[in-house]
């Protein structure tokens, strides 16, 4: 057995200092639902583990001055679900975060970990992309912000620079008439990884879409923001023609692989089907908001 | 015993193993720890097909902490030219399956093993073993394996005079199929293919072995038969059976695959060499890569039917994947597929095909679900095209007592007609079904049937009266499906005492007489028989003791409600003697009270199942969900109904997984690509509706309680019933399993 150093700093500065000092031999521990599995099967052998759950900013959910939310990167899915208003404002983000793993895993798994793991099939990422979440990142050179869709760099890779730690997700304030939703295709009903995941975030006025964002997962090396699909929805009343144009845009955005979880042909078709289904749910929620 | 006023038989008594299991105290093989114990780890082939030129273990042996290394040189070699059988297993293949010899035949096959003071050191040592491989072209799929220029796995196997991957054949024949097809009004022929599936037991294989300086071996392991463990380990290590004691651990599922061994002989040799107890536990990855899946199949089935529904001829050709070593369960599809029906002209042919996959092992009615899938979907299509009710057609053609099956047996007290008739009359069959509840949702209903041989065989039991007047019952087969609970019910009923006074145990190979495997749907049938006869002997002794106390003839004593009563002319002359009172006087009246029976049980007539299933198809995503399921079997007599229902439901669930989502996937190098429960998709609870188990109780006249085996038949109809239901929903037939979403959508969009 190799020895592992375990650190649980109370401040972000300490965490960043230790992380940078370890020069790549350290791994950040939030819920650990990816890291511990990787360590068990020999894929990860960190010399140092830096547990960020003792740092207040990473584990709190706060309202921003303009009425949005700031969600700490290490907030667990279960804690997010129990928040008094997050789920009513961002039901699509919440349902996506709550799809990470089983009920037991939800007690630990976090949206920050889900994003930093770098999987193109991560459930919470398309919903964060559709929501227009902005990331706060802190590293040896200070703080920076980054739109969530710019964060993934490829399967298992992110744009975090050495020593940088993901701090939080900032979700914007919601205009009246907004709704979001996330659906994934999995062969089973539970315990599976998305073959395709798709999120839609809409704002509607008098039945007309005034703003839209579409996040698409598991069909390319990274989660995608499908701007062409959003463009097809904006200005429409979600008529069949507009939905078909948006679905076609999603299919066109797909650049999937054939693997044990799905085929190129299947994933591409399903992306279009999900766009229509998710848009309908988001619109229904927008009508209630 | 078949009286309806049974107090214990047919009741849902608390299971004897329940408390330990829910509190985590049950002793599974991986829980065992011994002083001085070391850890065994297997080095497995990284190649699907390779000659093993040499193995150098020097560096591994030199690693501090390593206590022993074994290779095939330490396992008894059974030469390829001479078959040595243990039951249905050929030791030529078993010795190579536990440790590769001339060749590695599949990715994951054991090549060497190490014992070391920690599991980490053992794993490290495995990496230091140098194996010189000559990598050969590999072959995975049946079509590729039987192609003219296929890589040949075993040069000594010949088919039609040439080296071949067809390692065996089986033919069952009756009548003249050509003449039969000529009488048919409609003949349908279809081609099928299915993928291998894994038994998916939750407990990976595990054992602890202690080989002491005087050559005595004790094995604690999880298996479906401690006597099989002893016999097979003896053959593969050369240690006599009298020097091996196999102690059965609680078993976390086997479903047939734990009727053979993988680790025990290796652990014995590691323990013998190291002088230490050795523990070995497989990972899930190892379970998937190297332990028995059920075979995949390629088949052609052709059936001819008259307009009135009479089946006049049937021809089935089944190619089964054996894995790297011969021995696929041909008798499943060849013997079972047409057995439910009385057909005048049948030809049923099976081919055992080797390819570079793990060697198959038994799985719930081995091979039979595959044949049923093909035959029962062709029958459905014939019924559809001839406008006939599929259950009525089955009843019309069903084999009846006295009919001769194509596999050779003449049927005894079979109840096929009754089982299907019960489903025809079940409310589910005629229940309204909204076939298009949403624009992209279609629903449909399907039925199918299936046949399994069932089995009797060798079993032993010992019933002892304790000094305080309670009862211990010991049998010799691991309890995978409630045999202890059923045994307790039978003993309580016969003795007329409270169920809580009976303790049921599973003996090890040194403490109970030979008992064959738990498998073939045999154990409740056979163990109830030997337990009944043992208990009856005990009751005879109790009556004799009472007679001696009363100084009357033993014939003049009755045993009722847990006490001896003077009968006939002596009735009422003496106060009754209870079991407790007789036990207290046992020693002064002739010694301890107890009896055992060892039998080769017979009279297990076949089992049969008919299922009705409703499915819902998402026509845009290709997802099939099962929304209602009714499964019928004749249990003869349910000794413990919860377990009978559990067996039926368990079989149904495994059939659903086989039909919809389970499959082995291989990459181009011949390595399994989905060796985890995440990507090998067995159904989870939320995928399933509540499964209604309908257990008929038509007593088997050849059994003291009327028992008929129920463990296996429940897996048979599901594959075809679901495919038939999907056809009913979407109007298209599917001939390839699993009905995974990409496959279903491709057909729907074609």
3-state SS record for chain A: CCCCEEECCCCHHHHHHHHHHCCCCEEEECCCCCHHHHHHCCCCCCCEEEECCCCHHHHCEEECCCCCEEEECCCCHHHHHHCCCHHHHCHHHHHHHCCCCCHHHHCCCCHHHHHHCCCCCCCHHHHHHHHCCEEEEEECCEEEEEEHHHCEEECCEECCCCCCEEEEEEECCCCCCEEEEEEEECCCCCCCCCCEEEEEEEEEECCEEEEEEEEEECCCCCCEECHHHHHHHCCCCCCHHHHHHHHHHHHHHCCCCCECCECHHHHHHHHHHHHHHHHHHHHHHHHHC
Whose tokens are 């092992």? That residue is B361
CATH number at residue A20: 3.30.43
Closest by CA position to B486, among listed B133, B112, B15 = B15
Residue of B nearest to A272 (CA): B620
| A vs B: CB pairs below 8 A | 51
A268 is a domain residue: yes
Whether residue A184 is contained in a domain is answered as yes
Identify whether the C-beta of residue B100 lies closer than 8 Å to the C-beta of residue B45. yes
- Of B450, B452, B445, nearest to B374 (Cα)? B450
Place of tokens 């009722």: B560
Give the side-chain half-sphere CA count within 13 A for A41.
12
User: Does a structural domain hold residue B278?
Assistant: yes
In terms of domains, do B551 and B422 share one? no
Please judge whether A185 and B621 are an interchain contact, meaning their C-beta atoms are less than 8 angstroms apart: yes
State whether residue A270 sits within 8 Å of chain B by CB: yes
The predicted-structure confidence for B324-374, as pLDDT tens digits, reads as follows 999 999 999 999 999 999 999 999 999 999 999 999 999 999 999 999 999
Angstrom distance (rounded) from CA B112 to CA B266: 9
Are the Cβ atoms of A191 and B679 closer than 8 angstroms? no
CB contact under 8 A, B741 and A187: yes
**B197 vs B295: CA distance, rounded Å:** 7
Where in the sequence is the domain holding B327, given as residue range(s)? Answer: 293-454+605-748
CB B495 within 8 A of CB B624: no
B351 lies in the same domain as B382: yes
B80: left (phi over 0), alpha (psi -120 to 50) or beta: alpha
Q: Which of B200, B440, B616, B620 to mutate to test the interface with A (most CBs of A within 10 A)?
A: B620
Q: How far is A20 from chain B (nearest CA, A)?
A: 30
Residue reference for tokens 């740092």: A55
Whether residue A73 is contained in a domain is answered as no
**Cβ–Cβ gap B679/A269 under 8 Å:** no
Give CA–CA dist A137/A130, Å, rounded.
20
Cβ distance B684 to A191 less than 8 Å, yes or no, reads yes
pLDDT above 60: residue B2: no
Of B337, B596, B292, B645, nearest to B472 (Cα)? B596
Dist. CA A93–CA A90, nearest whole Å: 5
CB contact under 8 A, B621 and A1: no
> Contact B741/A185, CB-based, under 8 Å?
yes
Mutating which of B39, B118, B621 best tests the A interface, going by the most A Cβ atoms within 10 A? B621
The pLDDT value recorded for residue A2 is 66
- Judged by a CB distance cut-off of 8 A, whether residue A2 touches chain B is no
- Could you write out the three-class secondary structure of B416-464? HHHHHHHHHCCHHHHCCCCCCCECCEEEEEEEEEEEECCCCEEEEEEEE
Is A27 within 8 Å of chain B by CB? no
Q: Do A187 and B661 touch (CB under 8 A)?
A: yes
**Distance (Å, whole) CA B253 – CA B28:** 11
Q: How many Cβ atoms sit within 10 Å of the Cβ of residue A112? A: 25
Q: Per the CB < 8 Å rule, is B684 touching A269?
A: no
Whether B93 is covered by a domain: the verdict is yes
Question: Quick one: tokens of A36?
Answer: 């511990």
Coil vs helix vs strand at B412: coil
Q: What is the pLDDT of residues B638-695, one digit of tens each?
A: 999 999 999 999 999 999 999 999 999 999 999 999 999 999 999 999 999 999 999 9
Question: Smallest Cβ distance to B745: which of A1, A190, A266?
Answer: A266
- State how far the Cα of B459 lies from the Cα of B135, in Å rounded to an integer: 46
Tell whether A260 is within 8 A of chain B (Cβ).
yes
- Alpha-carbon distance values, B392 to B51, B389, B447, B604 (Å): 56, 5, 11, 27
Beta-carbon separation of A269 and B745 below 8 A = yes
**Strands, E assignment, B324-434:** 345-354
**Record: contact A262-B742, CB cut-off 8 A:** yes
Query: B interface mutation test: which of A33, A187, A193, A195 has the most B CBs within 10 A?
Result: A187
Domain identity same for B352 and B340: yes
Residues 167-186 of chain A with CB under 8 A from chain B are 185
- Partner-chain contact B687 A1, CB within 8 Å: no
Q: Are residues B286 and B297 in the same domain?
A: no
State the Cα–Cα distance between residues A124 and A122, nearest whole angstrom. 6
A185 neighbourhood in chain B, CB within 8 Å = 621, 623, 741
What would the two tokens of residue B166 be?
């067809």
Last residue of a domain, one of B259, B290, B321: B290
**How far is Cα A176 from Cα A170, in angstroms, rounded to an integer?**
19
- B486 and B424, same structural domain? no
Choose the closest CB to A187 out of B118, B623, B677.
B623
Give domain status of residue B7, yes or no: no
**Burial degree of B58 (CB within 10 A; 0-12, 13-18, 19+):** exposed
Taking the C-alpha atoms of residue A220 and residue A257, their distance in angstroms, rounded to an integer, is 8
Count of structural domains, chain B: 3
Q: CA-to-CA distance for A89 and A102, rounded, in angstroms?
A: 24
Task: Write down the pLDDT at residue A42.
Answer: 86
Domain boundary among B601, B634, B666: B601
B26 falls in which pLDDT band (50, 70, 90)?
very high
Contacts of B673 in chain A (CB under 8 A): 260
| pLDDT of B1 | 45
- Asked, for residue A137, whether it belongs to a domain, the answer is no
- Together in a domain, B562 and B695: no
CATH number of the structural domain spanning residue B219:
3.90.1170.50
Q: Buried b / exposed e across B483-510, counting CB within 10 Å, b at 16+?
A: bbbbbbbbbbbbbebebebbbbbbbbbe
Q: How far is A244 from chain B (nearest CA, A)?
A: 14
In 3D, which of B379, B381, B350, B388 has the Cα closest to residue B450?
Answer: B379
Report pLDDT digits (tens) over B452-477. 999 999 999 999 999 999 999 999 99
Distance from CA of B601 to the nearest CA of A (A): 43
Give yes or no: residues B733 and B682 share one domain: yes
| b/e B666-681 (16+ beta carbons within 10 angstroms → b) | beeebbbebbeeebbb
CATH of the domain at A270: 3.30.390.50
Q: What is the ipTM, given to two decimal places?
A: 0.94
- Identify whether B148 is part of a domain: no
pLDDT for B530 equals 98
- Asked if residue B318 and residue B277 are part of one domain, the reply reads no
Cα separation, B700 vs B705, in Å, equals 8
Look at strands B206-211 and B345-354 and give their pairing: unpaired
Report the SS3 class of residue B585.
coil
Q: Which of A34, A50, A66 is the last residue of a domain?
A: A50
Chain B residue nearest residue A265, CA to CA: B742
Let me know if residue B360 belongs to a domain: yes
Strands (E), B57-152: 66-71, 85-86, 89-90, 103-104, 110-116, 130-135
The whole-angstrom distance between B620's CA and the closest CA on chain A is 7
Question: How many CB atoms lie under 10 A from the CB of residue A172?
Answer: 16
Query: Does A197 contact chain B (CB < 8 Å)?
Result: no
Residue of B nearest to A188 (CA): B687
Confidence (pLDDT) at A289: 72
A191 in reach of chain B (CB within 8 A): yes
Instruction: Measure A273 CA to nearest chain B CA, in Å.
Output: 7
Find the CB nearest B674 among A188, A260, A266.
A260
| Beta-carbon separation of B742 and A263 below 8 A | yes
Residue B700 covered by a domain: yes
Q: What is the mean pLDDT of each run of 10 residues along chain A (289 residues)?
A: 88 96 94 94 93 97 96 98 97 97 94 97 98 98 97 97 97 97 96 96 97 98 98 98 98 94 95 98 92
- Statement to judge: residues B572 and B674 lie in one domain: no
Chain B residues closer than 8 Å to A192 by CB: 678, 681
The answer to whether A266 faces chain B, any CB pair under 8 Å, is yes
Q: Are residues B119 and B261 in the same domain?
A: yes
Same domain for B442 and B473?
no
A188 touches chain B (CB under 8 A): yes
The 10s digit of each residue's pLDDT in B570-619 is: 899 999 999 999 999 999 989 999 999 999 999 999 999 999 999 999 99
Structurally, how many domains does chain A consist of? 2
Chain A residues whose beta carbon lies within 8 Å of the beta carbon of residue B620? 273
Check if A40 contacts B (Cβ < 8 Å). Answer: no
Closest alpha carbon to B139 in B669, B712, B724, B638: B669
CA dihedral in degrees (A262, A264, A270, A274; nearest 10)? 100
- Cβ contact (<8 Å) for B742 and A188? no
| Residue B459 confidence (pLDDT) | 98
Q: Is A24 part of any domain?
A: yes
Q: Same domain for B467 and B448?
A: no
Nearest CA of chain B to the CA of A206: how many Å? Answer: 27
From chain A, the residues in CB contact with B739 under 8 A are none
Nearest to A273 among B621, B678, B684 (CB): B621
Yes or no, beta carbons of A265 and B742 under 8 Å apart: yes
Query: In the 8-state DSSP scheme, what is residue B295?
Result: P
Structural domain that includes position A215:
178-288
Q: How far apart are CA B629 and CA B612, in angstroms?
A: 6
**CATH at B519:** 3.30.365.10
pLDDT per residue as tens digits for the range B44-78: 999 999 999 999 999 999 999 999 999 999 999 99
Query: Within a domain: residue B192?
Result: no
Residue B5 has a pLDDT of 78
Last residue of a domain, one of B290, B318, B347: B290
One-character DSSP codes across B154-187 = -TT-EETTEE-SEEEEEEEEES-HHHHHHH-SEE
Domain end point (choices A33, A50, A67): A50
In-domain check, residue B710: yes
Collect all residues of chain A within an 8 Å Cβ-Cβ radius of residue B677: 191
């Amino acid at each position: 057995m190799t020895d592992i150093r375990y650190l649980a700093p109370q401040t972000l500065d300490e965490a960043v200092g230790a992380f940078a000092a370890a020069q790549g031999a350290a791994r950040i521990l939030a819920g650990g639902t990816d890291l511990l599995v990787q360590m068990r099967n020999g894929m990860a052998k960190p010399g140092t583990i830096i547990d960020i759950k003792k740092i207040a900013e990473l584990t709190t959910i706060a309202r921003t001055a303009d009425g949005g939310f700031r969600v700490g990167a290490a907030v667990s899915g279960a804690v997010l679900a129990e928040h008094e208003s997050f789920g009513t404002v961002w039901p699509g983000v919440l349902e996506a975060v709550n799809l990470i793993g089983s009920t037991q895993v939800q007690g630990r798994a976090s949206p920050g970990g889900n994003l930093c793991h770098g999987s193109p099939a991560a459930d919470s990422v398309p919903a964060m992309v559709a929501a227009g979440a902005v990331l706060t990142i802190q590293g040896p050179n200070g703080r920076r912000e980054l739109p969530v869709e710019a964060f993934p760099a490829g399967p298992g890779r992110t744009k975090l620079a050495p020593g940088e730690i993901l701090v939080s997700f900032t979700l914007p304030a919601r205009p009246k008439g907004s709704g979001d939703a996330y659906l994934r295709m999995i062969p089973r009903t539970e315990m599976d990884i998305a073959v395709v995941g798709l999120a839609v975030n809409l704002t509607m006025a008098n039945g007309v879409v005034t703003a839209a964002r579409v996040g698409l997962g598991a069909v390319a090396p990274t989660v995608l923001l499908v701007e062409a699909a959003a463009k097809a929805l904006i200005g429409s009343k979600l008529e069949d023609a507009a939905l078909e144009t948006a679905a076609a845009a999603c299919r066109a955005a797909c650049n999937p692989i054939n693997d044990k979880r799905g085929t190129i042909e299947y994933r591409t078709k399903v992306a279009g089907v999900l766009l229509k289904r998710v848009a309908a749910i988001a619109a229904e929620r927008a009508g209630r908001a | 015993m078949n009286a309806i006023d049974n107090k214990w038989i047919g009741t849902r008594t608390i299971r004897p193993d329940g408390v330990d299991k829910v509190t985590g105290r049950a002793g599974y093989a991986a829980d065992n720890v011994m002083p001085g114990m070391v850890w065994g780890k297997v080095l497995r082939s990284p190649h699907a097909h390779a000659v093993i030129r040499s193995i150098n273990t020097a560096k591994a042996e030199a690693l501090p902490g390593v206590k022993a290394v074994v290779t095939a040189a330490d396992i008894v070699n059974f030469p390829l030219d001479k078959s040595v059988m243990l039951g249905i297993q050929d030791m030529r293949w078993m010795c190579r399956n536990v440790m590769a010899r001339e060749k590695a035949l599949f990715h994951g096959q054991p090549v060497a093993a190490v014992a070391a003071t920690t599991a980490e050191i053992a794993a490290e040592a495995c990496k230091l073993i140098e194996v010189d491989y000559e990598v050969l072209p590999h072959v995975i799929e049946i079509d590729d394996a039987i192609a003219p220029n296929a890589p040949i796995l075993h040069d000594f196997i010949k088919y039609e005079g040439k080296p071949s991957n067809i390692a065996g054949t089986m033919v069952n024949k009756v009548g003249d199929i050509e003449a039969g097809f000529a009488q048919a009004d409609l003949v349908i022929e279809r081609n099928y293919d299915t993928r291998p599936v894994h038994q998916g037991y939750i407990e990976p294989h595990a054992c602890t072995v202690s080989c002491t300086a005087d050559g005595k071996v004790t094995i604690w392991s999880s298996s479906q038969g401690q006597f099989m463990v002893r016999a097979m380990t003896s053959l593969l290590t050369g240690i006599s059976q009298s020097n091996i004691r196999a102690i059965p651990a609680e078993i976390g599922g086997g479903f047939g695959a734990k009727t053979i061994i993988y680790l025990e002989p290796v652990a014995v040799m590691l323990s013998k060499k190291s002088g230490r107890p050795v523990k070995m536990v497989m990972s899930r990855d190892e379970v998937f890569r190297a332990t028995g899946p059920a075979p995949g199949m390629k088949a052609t089935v052709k059936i001819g039917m008259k307009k009135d529904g009479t089946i006049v001829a049937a021809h089935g050709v089944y190619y089964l994947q054996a894995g790297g070593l011969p021995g696929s369960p041909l008798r499943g599809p060849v013997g079972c597929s047409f057995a439910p029906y009385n057909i005048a002209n049948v030809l049923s042919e099976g081919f055992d095909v080797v390819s570079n996959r793990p060697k198959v092992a038994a799985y719930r009615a081995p091979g039979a679900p595959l044949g049923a899938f093909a035959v029962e979907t062709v029958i459905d299509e014939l019924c559809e095209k001839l406008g006939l009710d599929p259950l009525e057609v089955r009843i019309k053609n069903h084999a009846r007592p006295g009919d001769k099956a194509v596999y050779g047996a003449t049927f005894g007290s079979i109840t096929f007609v009754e089982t299907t008739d019960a489903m025809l009359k079940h409310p589910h069959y005629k229940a309204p079904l909204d076939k298009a509840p949403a624009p992209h949702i279609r629903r449909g209903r399907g039925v199918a049937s299936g046949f399994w041989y069932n089995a009797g065989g060798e079993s032993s039991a010992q019933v002892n009266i304790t000094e305080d007047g309670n009862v211990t019952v010991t049998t010799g087969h691991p309890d995978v499906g409630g045999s202890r609970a059923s045994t307790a019910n039978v003993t309580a009923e016969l003795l007329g005492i409270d169920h809580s006074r009976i303790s049921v145990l599973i003996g090890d190979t040194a403490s109970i007489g030979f008992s064959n495997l738990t498998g073939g749907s045999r154990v409740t049938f056979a163990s109830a028989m030997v337990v009944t006869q043992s208990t009856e002997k005990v009751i005879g002794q109790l009556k004799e003791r009472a007679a001696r106390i009363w100084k009357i003839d033993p014939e003049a004593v009755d045993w009722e409600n847990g006490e001896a009563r003077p009968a006939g002319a002596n009735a009422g002359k003496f106060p009754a003697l209870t079991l407790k009172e007789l036990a207290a006087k046992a020693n002064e009246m002739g010694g301890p009270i107890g009896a055992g029976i060892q039998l080769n049980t017979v009279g297990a007539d076949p089992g049969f199942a008919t299922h009705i299933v409703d499915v819902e198809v998402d026509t845009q995503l290709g997802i099939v969900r099962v929304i209602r399921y009714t499964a019928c079997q004749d249990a003869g007599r349910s000794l413990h109904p919860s377990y009978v229902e559990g067996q039926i439901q368990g079989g149904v669930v495994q059939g659903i997984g086989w039909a919809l989502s389970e499959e082995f996937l291989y990459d181009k190098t011949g390595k399994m690509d989905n060796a985890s429960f995440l990507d090998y998709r067995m159904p989870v609870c939320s995928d399933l509706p509540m499964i209604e188990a309908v257990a008929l109780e038509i007593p088997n006249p050849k059994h003291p309680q009327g028992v008929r085996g129920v463990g296996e038949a429940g897996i048979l109809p599901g594959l075809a019933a679901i495919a038939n239901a999907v056809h009913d929903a979407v109007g298209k037939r599917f001939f390839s399993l699993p009905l995974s979403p990409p496959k279903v959508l491709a057909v729907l969009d074609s």
